[in-house]
Amino acid sequence: MKKIFEQYVSRKYGVLTSELFIRGFSKPKKVEKIFFISSLFIPSGVILDRWFYSKDFKKLGERLLEKDSKEKNYLDKFFSNTYKLGEDLIKKSADIKKIDLTDLSLEELVYIFDEFTDYYETFSVTLAGFCLQIPLEEKLRELLKRRIDIGEDLAILSSPYKKNIINKEQEALLKIAVAFRKGKISVQLVSGLPKKYRVRIKRHIKKFGWMTRGGLDDAWTEEDVFVRLKESVKEDCAKKLVTLEKNRRNLKQKSEEILRQIKADKFARRLIKNAKELVYFRTFRTDYLNLAMFNIRPLLAEIGKRKGYAFREIAQFRLNEISSIRSVRKSELTKRLKNYIIFSKSPNKIIFSSNQEEIEKYKNKYFEEDNIGNHEVKGNVAFRGKVRGRVVIIRDKSDFRKSRKGCILVAAMTTPDFIGAMEKAAAFITDEGGITCHAAIIAREMKKPCIIGTKIATKVLRDGDLVEVDADKGVVRIIKRK
């Protein structure tokens, strides 16, 4: 039997969040609200931390680009609709966050949660918007095929003019670091900081501390931010702020210069406009999904408490188990932490199992996995440069502590909560990615060598390996194994 699914990304979420995503993809009515195409179904699945889409996923991106060429401003409508739905989701979650939950019955709490899931499922379908990346990048590479440095030109032409939340957080942190330098702060413990600096750190956490994976991880602590500040003050923060703003101003000029040199027609300019918007869109939708989930943490925690479960346990519940106020054996929740499979291969139908034998059966029948072998680590250049350093593999938040100044950060893909580790690293290497991915965006912002889309970096490289990252050629060479 021909397998249906192939892996696209690696992200580790709990069962609850994963099912919200898969349910959204499985419902044609939800999909229509995002893509304005009736009877569209997106086959998708998750095996613990591996996310799969159907082998026709690229064709969806091609279909959307073709629709944009035939229907005036189709993608403009798609993006603006996404941003509106995102604002609706955040407003709903923020309203829930303000509710005094203590006097409500369990049934009332569940009703509020069910209302929220309707918003979240709809907006989660925007995750499939990255299907545009594959055909869009192919068309841009074809457009630039005669250019000397295609990677550099792609980076410039796909960088958005608008600031995303990552940019705003970076600038806000640097402003605190500037104050640290002016105040000649030299304390080593956050508890030793003068009150006015701790107040600024707390404000920073209130505004940005939700930038964790899936929104269900704990918020940043004062210590988390303080550690980053201690690294930031080692350089001229004020100068870095000026440089960031200067680079942003120069971006439009550089983009226009390339467009002039390649004699870009109306079609080419439309492609580049869509590429810039897609990069901004990808971080926007991830940030809003995370923030919305972070806002309902108190609701989930209260539901868990009423049912006799810790917050981490309720995050492994299925949606119908919460809605029906059912109990779940704690041994079952432990199994789900280790492995589970959830997928949809036909509209409005979802298959789930945490039984290892069933997982293997479904995996072998429907899912295609990479056969790694002994491959050289090669990928696409997101930002040029050449450096040497020791590999640090980061799979989740618990690995951030391994990051050291000058390390080579290797991950399936980076997400907003990686920022502190990325600031220390000399270069980034990822399994996944294209011009719109998080690692590429941050590499361009930080001007650090970055190779994306290797597919195998986290499987071939090991912690402590001494490697050379040649981001001019897109190759990683192992100099010495750990």
Domain coordinates in residue numbering, the chain: 5-138+273-368, 147-261, 377-480
Which CATH superfamily, name and number, covers 377-480? Phosphohistidine domain (3.50.30.10)
Residue 375's pLDDT is what? Answer: 56
Contact 378, 87 (CB under 8 A): no
* Distance between CA atoms of residues 389 and 464, nearest Å: 9
Question: Rounded to 5 degrees, what are φ and ψ at 151?
Answer: -60, -45
Residue 438's pLDDT is what? Answer: 85
Residue 217's pLDDT is what? Answer: 85
Task: Count the neighbouring beta carbons within 10 Å of the beta carbon of residue 453.
Answer: 23
Query: Which segments of the chain have a pLDDT < 70?
Result: 1, 370-375
Question: Rounded to 5 degrees, what are φ and ψ at 438?
Answer: -60, -45
Helix or strand (DSSP H, E) at 244: helix 237-261
Q: pTM of the predicted model, to two decimals?
A: 0.88
* DSSP-derived pairing of the beta strands 408-411 and 427-430: parallel
Residue 370's pLDDT is what? Answer: 63
- In total, the chain counts a number of residues equal to 482
Residue 420's pLDDT is what? Answer: 86
Q: What is the DSSP letter of 341?
A: E
Which amino acid is located at 221 in the chain? T
Contact 57, 41 (CB under 8 A): no
Residue 419's pLDDT is what? Answer: 86
Residue 291's pLDDT is what? Answer: 96
